[in-house]
Amino acid sequence: MYLPVLIMRELGFAGVITFALPNIAGAMAMGWALRDERQSRLIIGEHRGAFIWYSLITIVFHAFFAAWIIRRIAGPNAGAALAAGFLLFWMILHWRRGGEFLAASLTLVISAGLLGWGFWRHELPYVAHPVQGASLSSINNLWLAPAWTLGFVCCPWLDLTFHSARRAMGRAEARAAFSTGFGIIFPAMLLLTVDYSGWLVVGFDRLRYPQLAIILGGYLIVQSCFTVALHARQVARIRERIPLRRFLAFSALLAIAVLLGILNDSRFNYSGIPLGELIYRAFLGFYGLIFPAYVWLRMASPRRSMARVAAVIVIAAPLYWLAFANEQMIFAVPGVLVVVLAKFLPGARVRAIVE
């Protein structure tokens, strides 16, 4: 829940709404469109590698964010708190009866309690506002809308936690749960993110606000640990032993992400964007381009080859870089068009197991 902070800084509340609507609709729609448990298992079985990498990249992304932002807020003991939080949720998730429900409920209660404490202290809400004199204008919400839509419509289909939730329920239950979760609870979380966005935009000073550091640090630690433990648990369920090469690649990425988060130099910037934020934006490329391109071209019928997926990513990546690193948001539109139109170019189709 940090991207809405950056959006508030650059585009204000209108930008958050533009970001939120496809996010809510895409996540909710997945719960409605996935027919039953059998379809979910067939999709995962056919695209197992992509599902695993989606979860592994998500874990690496959280590791970077923890080393970059959470450590800055919570202080030098954040690492120990994160490790303890992960182990706690990992153990709870292994309970066969109600472990996932208990872990999610615990996350919700602790998160609500911490932010409620912030409201009680009158340190929340503290809302960010667009940077004065920034070159970004409201028209950029229009340019970004296709990228948000592509990412949020496609990414839920590679999320093992979404599939796990859907398989646990019948069709009517799933539709009610996904509608409630993403139509009510998730927008509430987005609003709470807006409420603390101002503290993170200005650069939080934990020594000056020690109790607020506990509130914000604790909130982010609980949310991150629950997410990471849940993804790790889902990977373990579909692949008891990860191949050595994949494990080594994941371990290397994890170590590099943590080091980049710890050692990033705020004096280095690209187009006015500090190094840490630039790396954060680069990670978003997985969810805005790489994973959506795979879902759109490989999972949706008619299916296309991995060679086409790779070519599309290579062609669209510079356009996404111009949009999100150079903040020339209009380039997001042709970037999305490259991905979408590649589906309809002539070429051999790949037979799908699940239609």
Does 296 reside within a domain?
no
pLDDT at 138: 86
Average pLDDT over residues 253-269: 87
pLDDT at residue 355 above 50? no
Identify the helix (H) or strand (E) that includes residue 274.
strand 273-274
pLDDT at 69: 94
Number of domains the chain contains: 1
For residue 222, the tally of other CB atoms under 10 A from its CB is 22
Average pLDDT over residues 15-39: 94
| Residues paired with residue 269 on neighbouring β-strands, in sequence order | 274
Average pLDDT over residues 65-88: 94
- CA-CA distance, 151 to 149, in Å (whole number)? 6
**DSSP reduced 3-state for 132:** coil
Please report, rounded to a whole number, the percentage of residues in the chain having pLDDT higher than 90.
Answer: 82
354 pLDDT tier (thresholds 50, 70, 90): very low
**Which residues have CB under 8 Å from 121's CB, separation 6+?**
211, 212, 215
Q: Work out the angle between the directed axes of helices 306-324 and 275-285 (0-180°, nearest 10).
A: 150
pLDDT at 353: 44
Does 171 reside within a domain?
yes
pLDDT at residue 286 above 80? yes
* pTM of the predicted structure, to 2 decimals: 0.94
- CA-CA distance, 127 to 15, in Å (whole number)? 14
**Which residues have CB under 8 Å from 333's CB, separation 6+?**
143, 146
329 neighbors 146 (Cβ within 8 angstroms): no
134 pLDDT tier (thresholds 50, 70, 90): low
Please report, rounded to a whole number, the percentage of residues in the chain having pLDDT higher than 70.
Answer: 96
Does 255 reside within a domain?
yes
Torsional sign, CA 221, 107, 10, 283: positive
- CA-CA distance, 24 to 84, in Å (whole number)? 31
Does 302 reside within a domain?
no
Does 331 reside within a domain?
no
- CA-CA distance, 311 to 99, in Å (whole number)? 42
pLDDT at 272: 84
pLDDT at 271: 83
- Domain ranges, residue 146: 3-272
Does 204 reside within a domain?
yes
Does 72 reside within a domain?
yes
Alpha-carbon distance values, 252 to 49, 91, 102, 249, 255 (Å): 18, 25, 32, 5, 5
Does 347 reside within a domain?
no
18 neighbors 141 (Cβ within 8 angstroms): yes
Cis peptide before 302 (omega within 30 of 0): yes
- Averaged pLDDT of the chain: 92
Q: What is the pLDDT of residues 205-249, one digit of tens each?
A: 899 999 999 999 999 999 999 999 999 999 999 877 778 888 899
Torsional sign, CA 309, 288, 44, 62: positive
**Residue in 52, 321, 76, 28 with CA at minimum distance from that of residue 175:** 28
pLDDT at 133: 58
AA letter at 158: L
Q: Work out the angle between the directed axes of helices 275-285 and 244-263 (0-180°, nearest 10).
A: 150
